[in-house]
Amino acid sequence: MLNTTLMFRLRTVLDFYQMSIRTKEIDGYLDDVQGYLLALMAEQGPGVGEIVEIGSFKGRSTCWLAHGTKIAGREHVTAIDPFTGSPEHQPGMSCADMDLAAQGSTLPIFRQNVRKMDLDLHVAPIVATSEDAAKDWSRPIRLLFIDGDHSYDGVKRDFELWSRHVVAGGLIAFHDVGHWDGVTRFYREFMATNNSYEEVLDLFGLAVVEKKRLADS
């Protein structure tokens, strides 16, 4: 009989492989390794509170997060997006999106993708900008994923509005560090000046920080 550690590692590889195949059907901006890192943090990350995603598009990252939290029977994912795309997704721009041009929203495709992955019970969308959604938010967050407006001011605003709800010991993940100027500039400045967060990883454009507990700072 195989030992428990080997069984666990084999299952991890299998889970990664199967999810990589399934999420390939979802158009989006996250690669498989980044997706699996999100899933692992959703499954096993520290703290108690919701998982909040800013910038869901058609649901690729949402499904990785929801897959992880579903395995562990933990909190659902709140997916915040007006579903009208960023400036770069509009017609004639660098990442122009045909579904968005045709339907004016990625929400129908987002819902369809989440349903197809059998994750509806683990995802609660909020159709609003992060600024508007933040006005009514008061619940604790254990994992915050920032992947909305990629401008410097946009990332800074999302961090300032939402990080206050992250529990001590909780995690914040930033997407596209090193790939988008605004995100990279904000993240580098933030890491150089803050003393309340510690970097956990900065890999493949996904940077993750942990909010220090009072005793740590």
Ligand X SMILES: C[S@@+](CC[C@H](N)C(=O)[O-])C[C@H]1O[C@@H](n2cnc3c(N)ncnc32)[C@H](O)[C@@H]1O
Residues that bind ligand X (CB under 6 A): 28-30, 54-57, 60-61, 80-86, 106, 129-130, 147-149
DSSP assignments along 25-85, one per residue: TS--S--HHHHHHHHHHHHH-SSSSEEEEE--TTSHHHHHHHHHHHHHT-PPEEEE--SS-
Phi, psi torsion values for 174, nearest 5 degrees: -115, 130
**By C-beta, is 169 or 178 nearer to ligand X?**
178
**By C-beta, is 45 or 85 nearer to ligand X?**
85
Residue pair 184/155 in contact (Cβ under 8 Å)? The answer is no
**By C-beta, is 185 or 212 nearer to ligand X?**
185
Question: Cβ-closest residue to ligand X?
Answer: 28
Q: How far is the CB of 153 from ligand X (least distance, A)?
A: 10
Helix runs in the chain, H state only? 4-23, 32-44, 60-72, 98-103, 107-116, 130-135, 152-162, 181-193
Q: How far is the CB of 129 from ligand X (least distance, A)?
A: 4
Q: How far is the CB of 82 from ligand X (least distance, A)?
A: 6
Q: How far is the CB of 160 from ligand X (least distance, A)?
A: 13
- The one-character DSSP state at 119 is -
**By C-beta, is 47 or 78 nearer to ligand X?**
78
